[in-house]
Structure 1
Amino acid sequence: MAKVSIVDVAKAAEVSVSTVSLVLRKKGHISQATTDRVHQAMAELGYVYNQSAANLRSQKSNVIGLLFDRLESDFSIKILKCLIRELEKQGFIAMVKTGALTADALTLAVNELKTQHVAGIILVAAGSVDGGLTPVLSAAELPYQVMANQGGLGMSDLIVCDHYSDSLTLTRFLLDLGHVSTVLFGGELHDPVFGERANGYLEAYRERGIPARKAHIIYADTDLTGQRQRLEAALRSDNSISALLCHSPAAAMIGAQSVLKLGYGVGKDFILSQQKYVTCFQEVDRLSDGVMDLSYILLPLEEMAHHAVRQLLQRLDTPEPLPGRAFSGALIR
C-alpha cells in the first residue's frame, strides 16, 4: 500500500495542500470547521504527521552532516549506505566528512559543516568514541547523534553494536548443537571489538560449565600466512575442534581454506563426516567454491541507521538527553 501523503489528505478534505499544511503547523486563520475536516481526513486515511521531521526541515537546510573518523572500515562503509538511505526517506541529503576523533579535529569539522548550513550532525566512529567529545558537539548548537561500532565511556546516548551479546548468541548456538570444542579466530590482540566477542565467547562456556580448555582463541595479524599456520596447527593438535567462530569474512575464508586443506569438509555434520562448522560474526556471501552453508550474525545496521535519524529528529523537541541503545544482530542459521 502506498504511503499516505499530505496531497491525499488535501483531496479527501477538499481543501488545498497549503491549507492542510497550515492546519498541521497550527498557523494562519483556519476555521474550526475546516480544521475538523482536515483532522477527520487524516484519521480516515491513517496519515501521521511527523512533527520532528517537519521541524528539522524548517531549519537552515535539508542537509545532514555525517562525520566519520574513517571510511575504510567495513562497518563505516555499510552504515554510511544505510544512513544515506534513511535520510533520503525523510527528505534529507547527506554531506560526508572524515576526521580524527580529537577535540581539535572535531571542532574544525563541525565548524566546516556549520558554514554549509547543515541542519544536524551524525557522528560515526568505526571503533569507540570518547565521551569527552560531547562538549564539542554541544557547542555547535545543532542537533546531533553519535554512533559507534564499539562502546565508549561517558556517552549515555550512544547508539552502538552489542558485540558481546552477539558472541554469546553464536557460541550458545554452537554449544547447543554439540560443538563443545571450538575456535574463535581472526581478530587482532588489541582490537576492542574482538575483545568484546572474546568475552562473550568465554562467558558462554562459563555459564554452561564447560572447561575453558575447550575454548580456543587464536589472534590474527597482518601476516596471512602466519594466521593460517596458527589455525592449522590448532586443528591438527586437537581433532575434537568441530567449529570455528570467525571475526570477519576474511577470517572465514581463511578458516574454510584451512579446514579443506587438512582434508576435512566444511559443514554441520561433524559427528558422522568430521566436518568443521565455519561461522562468522558478519554476513558472508561465499566462502569458497562449493562452500556456502554457514551461520552468521547479521549486523543490525539498517535498524541502527533508522534509530539514529529518528533520535536526531527528536533532539529538536526534546531538551533532556535521549537514551542510547545497544543493538544486537540476528543469528542467520
Structure 2
Amino acid sequence: MSLGEMPNAGGGSSRVTVIDIARHAGVSKSTVSLVLQGSPLVKAETRERVLSSIEALGYVYNRGAANLRSARSNIVGMVINDLANPFFAELAVGIERVFQTAGYIPFIANTTESPTRQGEVLRSMSEHDIAGLIICPARGTRAAEIESFASRGFPILLAMRRLAGLRVSSVAPDNFRGARRATEHLIGLGHRRIAFFGGYADMSAQAERSGGYLAALDAAGIVPDRALIVEGPPNREGGLAAIDRVLDMAEPPSAALCFNDVVAFGVLDGLERRRLAAGRDFGLVGFDDVREARHTNPALTTVHVDTLALGERAAHAVLRMIHGDTRPEEHIGEVQLVVRESCGAKEVRRPS
C-alpha cells in the first residue's frame, strides 16, 4: 500500500493511506489504486473525485515504494500463434493500445503454431514474473500446460481459441453464428454443394465454424458431403491446395466458406490459375474481414470480426484481473456478414 504524509495539528505528521482516500472519496481502495496507476478503467467523474480527495488530504504517491512492494513487474505477455496472419496482427494492436495507455509494457512473442516454442516462451515470461498474460494457443496446446501456468497466480486470458476443461477468461468472436450466416447466404444464392476449407478439427475455432456451416446445411435439408470439408493449414497455401483438390472431383462444389480470409486468398489464387473467377464461376466467402479483404479482385465477401475491439476487451479483462478481480470472463464478440463481389450476389453491400 502506498503512503503519503499529511501534517497534523501538532506540527508532526500522520500517514495518509489509500484507505483514507477511499473513505474520503466514497470509493473502494482498488479504485484509488487504479487512479494512481493511470488506469483507463475508471470513469472520468470517479477519477476527478479521487483526485480531489488526494489533493484535500495532501497525499503524495510514492511510486518507487509502490514498485518495490509490487509482487509483479509492469510487463504483460502477449503470446500469438501466427503473427503472419493479418488478423492476429490487428488483434495485437488492440491489445497493445490498452496496455500502453494503462502504463504496462507489452512483451509480444510469435509461436508460429509451435507448442514447443510456446512452452519456451511461457517459461521465459514466468522467469520475468510478468503481471499478466494473453495467449492465442498454438495448435496442439494441452489444457494442463496453461493450467499449470495459471496455478502460479498469473492472470491469464485465452484469445480466439478456447481449450476444453480449462476455466480461465477467454475472448473470441461468435464463430458458430458467423459461419452459419455465411453458409445460409450461399444457400440463398442457389448453391447446394458448398465446401468448407481450412483449419483442423482439433482447433476450437474450426470446430465452431464448421459446426455453423453444418447447421446451415442441415436447416436447409442439404445432406453434407464430408469430402467437401477439407482440413488444412489456415494459410494461403492451405486455401490453394483445397481448391485444387475439390475442383478435380467428379462433382465439384460451386461455392465454399473458408476458415479465414487468408485461406480465401489462397482460393482466389487457385481459381485464377485455372482461369476461373470468384463471384462468376465460384461463390467464395471468408471469415475475419481483415483489411486486405476489401482490396482483392474481386473483393471478398466475409464475416466481419471487430478485431481491434476484441483485442481491447482482452486487455481490459487482464487489467481487471491484475487489480484483483479474478472472476473468469467469457466474452463472445458479435459478427456480421459483409457481402462483396466474391460470393456472386447481385446486390453488393459495402461496409460504410
- Scaled to the shorter chain, the TM-score interval is 0.5 to 0.7
42, 46, 49: which one pairs with 2:47? 49
Q: How does 1:160-199 map to 2 (within 5 A)?
A: 160-161=171-172, 162-188=174-200, 193-199=205-211
- Within 1, Cα distance between the matches of 2:240 and 2:330? 41
Identity between Structure 1 and Structure 2 (%): 17
When the two chains are superposed, the root-mean-square deviation of aligned CA atoms in Å is: 4.3
1:27, distance to aligned residue in structure 2 (A): 2.8
Distance 1:251 1:95 in 2: 28
- In structure 1, distance between residues paired with 2:142 and 2:48: 32
Aligned-pair CA distance for 1:205: 0.7
Answer yes or no: is 1:158 the counterpart of 2:169: yes
CA distance in 1, matches of 2:220, 2:93: 39
- Number of the residue aligned with 2:251: 237
Indicate how the Cα distance of structure 1 residues 127 and 331 shifts in structure 2: closer, same or farther if over 3 A, else same.
Answer: farther
Are 2:159 and 1:148 aligned?
yes
- Relative distance call for 1:64 and 1:330 in structure 2 (3 A) is farther
Separation in structure 1 between the aligned mates of residue 44 and residue 329 of structure 2, nearest angstrom: 29
Residues 24, 149 of structure 1: CA spacing in aligned structure 2 closer, same or farther, 3 A cutoff? same
Pair 1:322-2:328 in alignment: yes
* Counterpart among 127, 130, 142 of residue 112 in structure 1: 127
How far apart, CA to CA, are the structure 2 residues paired with 1:249 and 1:306? Answer: 22
Q: Quote how far apart the aligned CAs of 1:209 are.
A: 1.8
Tell me whether 1:136 sits opposite 2:142 in the alignment.
no
Deviations 1:144-163 (A, max 9, x none): 13123322022233314343
Q: 1:127 to 1:85 in 2, by over 3 A?
A: farther
Using structure 2 for the length normalisation, give the TM-score. Answer: 0.63
Q: Report SS of the residue matched to 1:179.
A: coil
Number of residue pairs matched by the alignment? 282
1:159 partner letter: S
1:309 — aligned with what? 315
Q: Distance in 1 between matches of 2:288 and 2:119?
A: 34
Amino acid at match of 2:246: L
Q: Partner of 2:91 in structure 1?
A: 79
Within 2, Cα distance between the matches of 1:176 and 1:197? Answer: 19
Judging changes above 3 Å, is the alpha-carbon distance between structure 1 residues 244 and 284 closer, same or farther for their aligned structure 2 residues? farther
1:27 aligns with 2:33: no
**Aligned mates of 1:76, 1:288 — CA distance in 2:** 18
CA distance in 1, matches of 2:134, 2:226: 42
Relative distance call for 1:201 and 1:265 in structure 2 (3 A) is: same
State whether residues 125 and 147 of structure 1, in contact with CA within 8 Å, keep that contact through their aligned partners in structure 2.
yes
Q: Secondary structure at 2:179's aligned position in 1?
A: helix
Distance 1:97 1:289 in 2: 29
Contact 2:81/2:138 (CA < 8 Å) preserved in 1? yes
CA drift at 1:69: 6.1
Q: Deviations over 1:213-262 (max 9, x none)?
A: 4993233466887544313214x734xx4322123444323423444555
2:157 touches 2:318 (CA, 8 Å); kept in 1?
no
The aligned residue for residue 6 of structure 2 is none
How far 1:311 sits from its partner (Å)?
Answer: 1.5
CA deviation map 1:50-104 (0-9, x unaligned): 99xxxxx966487332142645452543322221122123333212346775897
- 1:83-140 deviation digits (Å, cap 9, x = unpaired): 11221233332123467758975763343221xxx4333333244754423243232x
- Within a 5 Å distance, the mapping from 1:192-231 to structure 2 comes to 193-213=205-225, 216-220=228-232, 226-231=241-246
Any idea what SS the aligned residue of 2:157 has?
strand
The residue type equivalent to 1:310 in the other structure is: H
Deviations 1:182-234 (A, max 9, x none): 22224456655434322221121112222324993233466887544313214
User: CA separation in 2, counterparts of 1:256 and 1:282?
Assistant: 16
Note closer, same or farther for the CA distance 1:120–1:309 as it changes in structure 2 (3 Å cut): same
Secondary structure of the residue aligned to 1:49 is: helix
Contact 1:127 1:149 in 2 (8 A): no
Partner of 2:103: 91
